[in-house]
Structure 1
Amino acid sequence: MKKSNKVEAIAFARYIRMSPFKIRRILDQVRGRYYDEALVILKFMPYKACPLILKVLQSAVSNFRYQFKASTSSLIISEARVDSGPILKRFRSHAQGRGFPIKKRMSHIISSV
């Protein structure tokens, strides 16, 4: 078994009431970049998911500082992903007495630096 010298810190945000599809399009822009670049990108993007992702990313960097007592000047976002959480299933009334299903999706955001 090979041991790697790679150090990383992870942060989670679970049960976010937003669709994973909406979050994923922003995480694709941030993944693999330096932390400073990602901050600038997230601060100036006009999407509702940006503050949530920024919060998780800052938590991962804070965890890194606490665990390794190292500088954060050259941190790279190694992993940024979103998984689907539970789905709230609701019904809305529709024509001719029918019910129309509505799926309110949740997400789990995982970030590591």
Structure 2
Amino acid sequence: MSAHKARRVIDQIRGRSYEETLMILELIPDRACYPIFKLVYSAAANASSNMGSNEANLVISEAEVNKGTIMERLV
């Protein structure tokens, strides 16, 4: 998955509620959605168990995609 594709998906979910985010990620036909879906689901489960937050009250306020690793071959 490229960082550009992941950024496009992240831009769609930033600022939305947890439930709305899951619906969006299920409907976008992009391979980048599944890893982001798993990440959001895991973060919500952690917030629910560690902080006692209700999943209905969660909002995706910040989301970033780093460029990733760049490998160069020296000749």
Structure-2-length-normalised TM-score: 0.88
Q: Which whole-Å CA distance do the structure 2 matches of 1:25 and 1:70 have between them? A: 28
| Structure (1/2) with the larger strand percentage | 1
Q: 2:5 aligns with which of 9, 12, 22?
A: 22
Matches within 5 A, 1:26-37: 26-37=9-20
The Cα RMSD (Å) is 1.3
| Counterpart selection for 1:61 from 25, 44, 51 | 44
TM-score after normalising by structure 1:
0.60
Q: Which runs of 5+ in 1 are unaligned?
A: 1-17, 91-113
- Could you tell me the percent identity over the aligned residues? 44
Gaps of 5+ in 2: none
Q: Does 1:39 align with 2:22?
A: yes
Please name the residue that 2:63 is paired with: 80
Paired residue secondary structure (1:26): helix
The C-alpha deviation readout for 1:55-92, integer Å capped at 9, x for no partner, is: 110111011012112211121101111001212347xx
The structure with more helix, counted as a fraction of residues: 2
Q: Which of 1 and 2 has greater Rg?
A: 1
Q: Which has the higher contact order (CA 8 A, sep 6+)?
A: 2
